[in-house]
Amino acid sequence: GAVVSQHPSRVICKSGTSVKIECRSLDFQATTMFWYRQFPKQSLMLMATSNEGSKATYEQGVEKDKFLINHASLTLSTLTVTSAHPEDSSFYICSARQGWGNQPQHFGDGTRLSIL
Amino acid sequence: GQQLNQSPQSMFIQEGEDVSMNCTSSSIFNTWLWYKQDPGEGPVLLIALYKAGELTSNGRLTAQFGTTRKDSFLNISASIPSDVGIYFCAGQARDYGGSQGNLIFGKGTKLSVKP
């Protein structure tokens, strides 16, 4: 149980393109979904937290107009990197948590984004 | 903000050896989680700890929630080549509103196992 699917797994696109990444909880309802960014050989950095039907809460330093997050249902959240540039190239990982208590976060397999 | 100190940063061991890694914090957590991440993939939950002093096993893995609530360790017994990867600890505390706060991650322990 507790499977989180992230799509696509890899994206290579030109500078200026907008890229959408999907995160789905397959076998549970995700009250909260999280988006992380991971640079090579580093730990995960939280970008934003989103609850279903609410606006996302962004961490300090993360541009909300650059990284658009939509959490329209209890099983789907999307991250859109708008007008992506090479410095946006990174490994983006989503996670999902069921309920409001102590349930752990379960992670997707990540999306490798490369902007040329 | 809250920070986790995870050590060691990396380990090179022989197959069959036991492994131990730990995380410490200057502040209290009410949940400790241990994840493993393989290259190019997302972290996979190994063990979740919810109570101070709790000792939990998952196969060859054992983790403990420190009694001070400021530390946790993970042990792997009789390591095998597929144990290779990066292990992250993560702590979670309640925020001022009483809700679950965000996960704070350690910097990871990279494990290499020599067959």
Residue in chain A nearest B42 by alpha carbon: A109
Measure B110 CA to nearest chain A CA, in Å: 9
User: Strand order of the sheet with strand A67-73?
Assistant: A4-7, A19-25, A76-81, A67-73
For B42, which of A2, A102, A109 is closest by C-beta distance? Answer: A109
Per-residue pLDDT of chain A (116 residues; tens, 9 = 90+): 789 999 999 999 999 999 999 999 999 999 899 999 999 889 999 999 998 888 899 999 999 999 999 988 999 999 999 999 999 999 999 999 987 667 889 999 999 999 99
Instruction: Give the pair of three-digit tokens for residue A9.
Output: 């797994």
Are the C-beta atoms of A34 and A99 separated by less than 8 Å? no
Tokens found for residue A92: 């983006």
Provide the shortest C-alpha distance from residue A82 to chain B (in Å): 23
**Predicted local distance difference test score (pLDDT) of residue B64:** 97
pLDDT value at B3 more than 80? no
Q: CA–CA separation, B19 vs A91, rounded Å?
A: 28
**pLDDT per residue as tens digits for the range B19-75:** 999 999 998 999 999 999 999 999 999 999 999 999 999 999 999 999 999 999 999
Q: What is the pLDDT of residue B96?
A: 60
Both structure tokens of B114: 């020599």
